[in-house]
Structure 1
Amino acid sequence: MTTYESTGLTGPLPTPTVSVKPVVLPAPRRGADLHVRVSAPVTGTDLPIVLFAHGFGSHLDGYAPLVDHWASRGFVVLQATHLDSRRYDVAADALRQPHLWRYRVQDMRRILDELDILEASVPGLAGRMDHRRIVAAGHSFGGQTAGILVGLRVTDPKTRIAEDLSDSRVMASIQLATAGKGGDELTPFALEKAPWLRDQDFSHVTAPGLVIAGDEDELPLSTRGPSWTTDPYTLSGGDKSLLTVYGGQHSLGGIAGYEAAETTDEHPGRVALVQQVSLAYLRHVTGTDHTDWETAQTALAGGSHPLGRLESK
């Protein structure tokens, strides 16, 4: 397994964690109650929060390589099972399918509204979460969800209206292998299966953010190739950084889980890079510590690192 030393980066040592699931939040008009997993370190106070959205079809039990890494180093991570999960049949429902992107945002808002309940669900966590420091993160479809919370505007496939669904409680975002702009770059497959990608406007995104993209992420959704997933960086404003993972495909080496079916490029080194850079960014953007982020910027500048490069604007 790749170690911190082999990537040349630094970071805090892990501490024990606790995870509780499912915490059930009633959601009468959703069609199913919202199930949430809460992962947190067993010690520490004023813990920042990561609101994490899974990729299409996944669930609250996924992404252990990221969730465990963040939680064991000082963050409370909140994960929901969204309605597009393979654990439901909603994704195949022609009437509800065009609204899956909106249900996800509603899920995230519900979690933010019920932080006290989620905090009380974990023994010993009460009073230890910092509700003022919240970062939205997500992979693939989940990256769009995180983006919407910081200003990404999606034109509704049914109403053709692009609403501002951002939430001021979210201070920053991390978007991993996330879709770019729509328009004529979308494939017929994308237009049929993911109509919410038809028109995305990144110009209103000004909150700080880290975008992570694989340079071999060839998705069936766009004709542009891997550069499509860098749009959340290039088309957004504000303080943004982009980590390009060399050889990374859509799972970036296995962030959803090494044995997950969607991991086509299993590579512990890539996962370690994503773990360490994302953690360094979380600590930096929440004001916890800036040293590791500065180290990562230096080590990954200029493209000389064997695993990837990091740039900012």
Structure 2
Amino acid sequence: MRHNAPTPVISTHPVVLPTPERGQDLHVRVSAPATGHNLPVIVLSHGFGQSLHGYAPLVDHWAARGFAVVQPTHLDSRTLDVPPDDPRHPEIWRFRVTDLTTALDRLDVLEAAVPGLAGRLDRDRIAVAGHSWGAQTASTLLGARVLDADGRPGEDLSDPRVKAGVLLAVPGTGGDDLTPFAAEHFPFMSPDFTAMTTPALVVAGDADQSALTVRGPGWFTDAHTRGPGAKSLLTLFGAEHSLGGVAGYAVAETTDENPDRVALVRHLTWAFLRSALHPANTDWATASAELAASTNPLGRIESR
């Protein structure tokens, strides 16, 4: 199978995982190429309000080129309409993390739900990805921890099954970096990246002006600058929070629609995960060199 050439994709949804402790069963979408074996797995955490139906520009590309992509629907999804006074809200960020680990715990069920997928997943090559709030959710499985009210790192929720990650527009540190609104309404938005040792690609837009921080676009690079170990940062020139439209085709919340930018993001994230999960693979090195050699680049890469 040529991993750089698209193949037909099979997608099944919803696969329902009973989760009584969550208050609602977990609905998951699974997409995978129709052919090929030893498929690495990406568990994708959506941004606020999205669902298993989102992020088609990324999912279509990844699945058509050799990945099985798992998309749980978190409790904050607009499709569930959980009211603001729901008692689960203060811990909804934890439910998000548990949704990802539940999907990993039940890969057998997810695999069996997709016709022809049984026996084709590579459970030794698992990655997480996320956008916005979903990126913070994914980062906890990579080793990031949420600081408590006293500034102490909370519970370690990292998952040893996860070997790499992609964090798209991931929120930065809390405390004085937050606006008063964010500090009041999102106290969990206080990550500590100093133990996030798992290899990761951070993708940030240099025009991402968020109402959650007083620092400007640089806030979205904290996971790279403060996270130890093998990290890469893709800075997209002129990109806002939607990074050109990664959340879906023509979605209303896209403020910086740019198909070329989305094409770059999906190609580079695919190449990064291919090489991170297969150390002998050179797709990331090749893609990085191509971007650096471009006469009119859409972004730049910094790696260590």
TM-score, structure 2 length as denominator? 0.95
Q: Which moved more, 1:96-105 or 1:233-242?
A: 96-105
C-alpha contact (below 8 Å) 2:11/2:32 kept by paired residues: yes
Q: Which of 222, 244, 254 is residue 253 of structure 1 equivalent to?
A: 244
CA distance in 1 between counterparts of 2:160 and 2:283 reads: 27
Deviation of 1:190 (Å): 1.0
Question: Match of 2:33?
Answer: 41
Question: Match of 1:200?
Answer: 191
Task: Name the SS of the counterpart of 1:171 in structure 2.
Answer: strand
CA distance in 1 between counterparts of 2:296 and 2:181 reads: 36
TM-score, structure 1 length as denominator? 0.92
Q: Which of 274, 287, 291 is residue 282 of structure 2 equivalent to?
A: 291
The amino acid of 1:44's aligned partner reads: G
Question: Match of 1:3?
Answer: none
Percent identity for Structure 1 against Structure 2: 58
Question: Match of 2:165?
Answer: 173
The count of corresponding residues between Structure 1 and Structure 2 is 302
Question: Match of 1:4?
Answer: none
Q: Which runs of 4+ in 1 moved over 4 A?
A: 156-161, 302-305
C-alpha contact (below 8 Å) 2:42/2:68 kept by paired residues: yes
The amino acid of 1:247's aligned partner reads: G
Q: Could you list the runs of 5+ residues in structure 2 that have no partner in the other structure?
A: none
The amino acid of 1:189's aligned partner reads: F
| 1:87 matches 2:79 | yes
| 1:312 matches 2:303 | yes
Q: Which moved more, 1:162-171 or 1:188-197?
A: 188-197
Correspondence 1:111-260 to 2 at 5 A: 111-156=103-148, 162-197=154-189, 199-260=190-251
Distance 1:288 1:127, change over 3 A: farther
Question: Match of 1:5?
Answer: none
C-alpha contact (below 8 Å) 2:145/2:153 kept by paired residues: no
CA distance in 1 between counterparts of 2:215 and 2:151 reads: 27
CA distance in 1 between counterparts of 2:166 and 2:83 reads: 25
Q: Which of 9, 22, 25 is residue 14 of structure 2 equivalent to?
A: 22
C-alpha contact (below 8 Å) 1:41/1:75 kept by paired residues: yes
CA distance in 2 between counterparts of 1:85 and 1:157 reads: 27
CA distance in 2 between counterparts of 1:251 and 1:292 reads: 25
CA distance in 2 between counterparts of 1:292 and 1:133 reads: 16
C-alpha contact (below 8 Å) 2:175/2:183 kept by paired residues: no
The amino acid of 2:285's aligned partner reads: E
C-alpha contact (below 8 Å) 2:129/2:165 kept by paired residues: yes
